[in-house]
Chains A and B, each alone.
Chain A
Amino acid sequence: MNENVKPQTEWWKRIVVGANLKTTLRRAILLALFCILLFNYVLLPVRVRGNSMEPTYRDGSWHAVNLLKLAARHPRRGEVVVISMVGRRALYLKRVLGLPGETVSFFNGQLIIDGREMPEPSLTDRGDWTLPAVTLGGDEYFVAGDNRAVPLEVHTLGTVKRKKMIGGILR
């Protein structure tokens, strides 16, 4: 009668390696592969450093970059995009203001696209930036941060090539 009873795996072994070591290893390898693919090609966790995108994205806050967001379409005006620097460990987070072929300028904080005033609903304070007109090339976008209280001289803004935009913020 005792021969029919299945031998019980010790409880600590069940916790550490599961009931079957081979199955656990297989699952662990699959999970690792899934995570490598997910966090290299789909979602990139990032932490905001600096105040150029405040109040939308605060210094020190964590977000996820959707690396597929711009894979099949071009960036849209008003969208926050992620721009790669040297590698993937340092990225810019900026809002798209001007699209290819457009002429972008600022007058006393007012964004002007092709001679027309453009509203920026995402801003709480539009600041007082004044910039002469910049005409964008065929694959160029004009980007800037949301924190317009920062003096123009120390704010990173300007034109960026489409190929440097690697994705968008998930949330």
Chain B
Amino acid sequence: MTATRAMGWRPWAVLLTAAVVLYAGLSWRNRDVNRIRRRLERLRVSFNKAPDESALASLRRAQEIAGAFTENPSVRLGPYLPDLFNRQDLAVAIHHARTTLDEIHTSIRDKTIVVAADRQSATTDLAVEGTYVYRDDWDRQVTEFRLEWARQNGEWMIQGVEPLEVIKPPRRVREGQ
């Protein structure tokens, strides 16, 4: 009876072991994707701003966000904003935006993460929804960005940001004339 019972359990044990091994294998294989995903989520939370955020807290958040970038990143956010190529300039720009807007709420609507075969670089395409409150008025926009990542000292850092234009704006809109 003991032998029969053992035989009955064996297929389940094999299946369970196979599932655990498969899960561990997939997690190991996707470890870079998972790290980038976690980093993106931390960034998203950092971008949010509550209405009562102090100037000091805003500065700290701006430094925190800029810290996710390489020393000399290439940041292009669109036709109406200046391109940035320096982490410090980026921190200043983020701090300025945070002090100008009363509230910021962000959510990542969709994303794809592709890690290069050598695991030293990665590309993320993001659709980010941002809701901004400014002087009792609000606006909501979904914007697509491409983030280029580089691995530096084992950490994934953002080295490039550019808008993805699925709908390409006409020249006059692009130039903001």
User: Which A residues are closer than 8 A to B by beta carbons?
Assistant: 49-50, 83-90, 92, 94, 130-132, 134, 143, 152-154, 156-160, 164
Contact = CB atoms under 8 A, between A and B. Distances in A.
B125 interface: yes
A84 B109 CA distance: 12
A92 B164 CA distance: 13
Nearest to A133: B170
Contacts of B109: 85-86, 89-90
6 contacts: A85-B164, A86-B125, A87-B111, A132-B170, A152-B172, A158-B173
A159 B164 CA distance: 13
B141 A159 contact: no
Interface of B: 80, 109-112, 125-127, 129, 139-142, 144, 164-173, 176
A92 B111 contact: no
Residue of B110, B129, B141, B167 most packed against chain A (CB within 10 A): B167
A87 B172 contact: no
The secondary-structure label for the interface of chain B is strand
Contacts of B176: 153
Contacts of A85: 109-110, 127, 142, 144, 164, 166
Contacts of B169: 156-158
Nearest to B146: A86
B110 A153 contact: no
Given A134-B171, A153-B80, 15 more contacts: A49-B129, A85-B144, A86-B109, A86-B112, A86-B127, A87-B112, A89-B110, A90-B110, A90-B144, A153-B173, A153-B176, A156-B169, A158-B165, A158-B169, A160-B166
Specify which of A89, A143, A156, A159 lies most central, judged by the most chain B CB atoms within 10 Å of its CB: A156
* Chain A binding surface, main DSSP class: mixed
Contacts of B168: 158-160
Contacts of B111: 86-87
Given A87-B127, A164-B166, A131 B173 contact: yes
A160 B169 CA distance: 9
A77 to B, nearest CB: 17
What are the 7 A-B residue pairs with the smallest beta carbon separation, nearest first? Answer: A90-B109, A87-B110, A90-B127, A89-B110, A158-B169, A86-B110, A86-B127
A86 B172 CA distance: 25
A118 B108 CA distance: 38
B167 A160 contact: yes
Contacts of A157: 167, 169-170, 173
Contacts of A153: 80, 173, 176
Contacts of B170: 131-132, 134, 157-159
A154 B144 contact: no
Contacts of B141: 50, 154
A20 B172 CA distance: 67
A143 B144 CA distance: 17
Contacts of A143: 167
Contacts of A131: 170, 172-173
A134 B169 CA distance: 10
Given A87-B112, A90-B110, A152-B173, A158 B167 contact: yes
Contact of A132 (B127, B142, B172): B172
A128 to B, nearest CB: 14
